[in-house]
Structure formats: C-alpha cells, structure tokens
Amino acid sequence: MKSGSLGCARQWALFRRSCLAPLMPLLLSACAVKDSHLAELAQSRLVGISEVALESCIGAPDEHASVGNTDVLTYYASSTNNINWTVPIVGGLAVNNGGYCHATFQVVGGRVVRALYSGEKDAPLAPDAFCAPIVRTCLANIDSIQRATAVPGDTAGLPANANR
C-alpha cells in the first residue's frame, strides 16, 4: 500500500512539473515587463535630480565624459537568464535569454536633463528591461532624493510630477 501512495506522489510531482514548465516563460516575462515599466518610468522621474544625487543612488559611473557644460555619465548592466526543464518522455528544453544595457545620463548645470538606454536591452515583450537594475534604487527613493536636493524656491530643476 505504501508503494501505491508513493507512486501517486511521484505521478502528481511529474504532473505538476510537466504542467508548470510551459508556464515558466510566461511567469518570467511578467517580471521582465515589470522591469520594462520601471526603466521607462526612470527616464522621466530621474530628470531634474542633481548629479550628486544620481551618483549617490546609482554609484560612480562606469564612464564619465564632459563636453562644454554637459557631463555624460554612463552605467553598464548585463544579465544572463538560463532556464532548463526536463520533461518526461519529451526530453529537455532550454531557454537562454540575456542582454546588456548602457544607461547614459546627460547632466547640464549639475542636473539630469535626459536619460537614454542603448545596447541589447530588450527582453521578450519588455523593452529596456535589462536597464531596470541600474535605476531601481533611485526610483525606490526618488521622492526623498528630490526633496533633499531641491534648491529652495527653484522648481525649474524638478519635473512637474515631483512630489514635494
């Protein structure tokens, strides 16, 4: 009788794995879509913060160039996602997905005026998803960063949607 219940447990485990395996790409793409939205939001919400605030929340840039009164700060991120499934009878299935992002911030007069992304930055159905790790911490703290770096009486340096 024990062997029969063990057989049912194994069959149930195999059934769960074989049913969930096809859903894994969908579940993973949901995470990528969330990252895509985060990266898109950063392109507008980080405009107006000071260069010091940007470096405080992202870190020192991987590259820094100056042209006239414009500073160009570039940050790099890369990601490799490997998923391997073994399905009974069918065999194995592997999905390899990865990319990299160069997030470039233009700074004029000490404030971010533009954020641009380049590289192999798009996950399936999720543009700019590989850029999210660069800006995640800044966006999580954007309201406090904007309040701390605001110049009294100066609203020109902050985006219209900044919470004060």
Instruction: Find all residues with CB under 8 Å of 157, minimum gap 6, and list them.
Output: 48, 50, 111, 150, 151
Per the prediction, the chain carries an average pLDDT of: 76
pLDDT score recorded for residue 63: 97
Percent of the chain with pLDDT over 70: 61
pLDDT at 68 over 80: yes
pTM of the model: 0.67
Say if residue 57's pLDDT is above 80. yes
CA-closest candidate to residue 130, choices 24, 25, 34: 34
What amino acid is encoded at 15 in this protein? F
pLDDT bracket for residue 22 (50, 70, 90) = low
DSSP readout, 130-158?
GGHHHHHHHHHTHHHHHHHHPPTT--TTS
**C-beta separation of 46 from 135 below 8 A:** yes
| pLDDT attached to residue 34 | 86
pLDDT tier at 7, thresholds 50, 70, 90: low
pLDDT 10s digits, 104-135: 999 999 999 999 999 888 777 788 888 899 99
Tell me what the mean pLDDT of segment 10-35 comes to: 60
Residue 44 has pLDDT above 70, yes or no: yes
| Residue 121 structure tokens | 């930055």
pLDDT value for 67: 93
Structure tokens at 47: 């405009």
pLDDT above 60 (res 83)? no
Q: Which residue has the tokens 């160039």?
A: 65
